[in-house]
Structure 1
Amino acid sequence: MGLRHDLNDIQRELQAEKQAKFNRRLPFGDLITDRWQNARECGFGEGASMYDNVLVLGSVSVGAKTWIGPNVIRDGSGGLEIGEYCSISAGVHIYTHHTVEWATSGGKADPERRPTKIGSRVYIGPNTVIQMGVTIGDGAVIGAMSFVNRDIPAGAKAWGVPARAQCEGNSVNEMRHPTS
């Protein structure tokens, strides 16, 4: 009971500090780890950060100053490259493999793998799913809760299920509240 009691005391103290400084409550792992150190330990670019609860599988490359939000899945088992100055919002899933053929063949087929690439200066909205083999170009914006199963060109704004690049000139605010 001694260690558990001590950990509870530490959690309460750290939680109070975060609440006072940032007005937020975090899971225990994020209270005791440093987001920038987490990214450094994965070999990511200078100034990149990621929460403790981010799942990193396989070969994942991340550029400088990229922010990886909480509860993100980055599957690099087929090769994943993310550029610099990206913002990967909470709950985003980025895949480089799937097991459809493996499952439907009763384990006879291998999982399919293809590399996925996200350019630099890309914003990906919360709870978006990016399918294996997709390339998202530099400066693209992907709206929240999108399913990206095709390439998105540089500078495009895309959203939806499946995500589609929208007409030129749409503002980010229009992405939040599309009229069509």
Structure 2
Amino acid sequence: MAPSEREKMAAGEWYSCLDDELDRLRVLAREAVHSHNTLAPAERGQAAPALIRLFAGFGEGAFIEAPFHCGYGFNITLADRVYLNAGCVILDSAPVIIGAGSMLGPAVQIYCAEHHKDRASRAAGLEVARPVTIGRDVWIGGAAVILAGVSIGDGAIVGAGAVVTRDIPAGATVVGNPARPATRK
């Protein structure tokens, strides 16, 4: 039996996102996100219960401000004390793991999917999913974008508005588009 589109997605193979099973999973995520984004802060707590249940892992003291958006949710793991500021977007077609004590500023975006470069294949919904791993005690400034397949090492800093296209070593500070080591003047 041929693998399903979800199985191909999980295996890091080309898959069609125009698939009934994947669509149903995205609907579940949208419902949990809606709950999170519309609950009163006192009811929501650290994150809406529906969102916490959807995630692969939600550590002690983790906190997600509203609004928030994710693609599937079940691929997201937040370790202890992770903080996501308002407007963060995680399109988690592959695992996204965020290490303990890491903080994401407002409007940070994490994209796991790479769309096909061939126009006809792209129109058919073909994409490939690559994981994103963010280490411990990382600071990602507002409106930064983290692209598919990137790993960010422990203690790294990503400047506001940076576009991260490559791995960042532990302790490094990067800025710009594409993100590159910060220089002192």
**If the length of structure 1 is used for normalisation, what is the TM-score?**
0.70
Query: Where does residue 131 of structure 2 map in the other structure?
Result: 115
Mark the runs of 5 or more structure 1 residues left unpaired by the alignment: 1-26, 171-178
- Structure 1 pair 122–104 and aligned structure 2 pair: CA distance change class (3 A): farther
Structure of larger gyration radius: 1
Paired residues of 1:29 and 1:52 also in contact (CA < 8 A): no
Higher RCO structure, 1 or 2 (CA under 8 Å, sep 6+): 2
3-state SS, counterpart of residue 105 of structure 1: helix
Query: Where does residue 146 of structure 1 map in the other structure?
Result: 162
Query: Where does residue 34 of structure 1 map in the other structure?
Result: 44
Paired residues of 2:109 and 2:143 also in contact (CA < 8 A): yes
**2:62 aligned with 1:52, yes or no?**
no
Name the CA distance, whole Å, in 1 between partners of 2:127 and 2:99: 26
Give percent identity, aligned residues only: 30
Q: Match for 1:45: what amino acid?
A: G
* Cα deviations by residue, 1:19-47 (Å, 9 ceiling, x for unpaired): xxxxxxxx864546434143644341110
- Structure 1 pair 47–100 and aligned structure 2 pair: CA distance change class (3 A): same
Name the CA distance, whole Å, in 2 between partners of 1:109 and 1:29: 33
Mark the runs of 5 or more structure 2 residues left unpaired by the alignment: 1-36
Structure 1 segment 1-80 matched on structure 2, within 5 A? 29=39, 31=41, 33-38=43-48, 40-41=52-53, 42=55, 43-58=57-72, 59-80=75-96
Paired residues of 1:102 and 1:110 also in contact (CA < 8 A): no
Name the CA distance, whole Å, in 1 between partners of 2:67 and 2:96: 18
Q: Match for 2:59: what amino acid?
A: G
3-state SS, counterpart of residue 46 of structure 2: helix
Name the CA distance, whole Å, in 1 between partners of 2:171 and 2:136: 10
Name the CA distance, whole Å, in 2 between partners of 1:136 and 1:120: 9
- Structure 1 pair 95–106 and aligned structure 2 pair: CA distance change class (3 A): closer
In angstroms, what is the RMSD of aligned CA positions?
Answer: 2.3
Query: Where does residue 105 of structure 1 map in the other structure?
Result: 121
Paired residues of 1:116 and 1:135 also in contact (CA < 8 A): yes
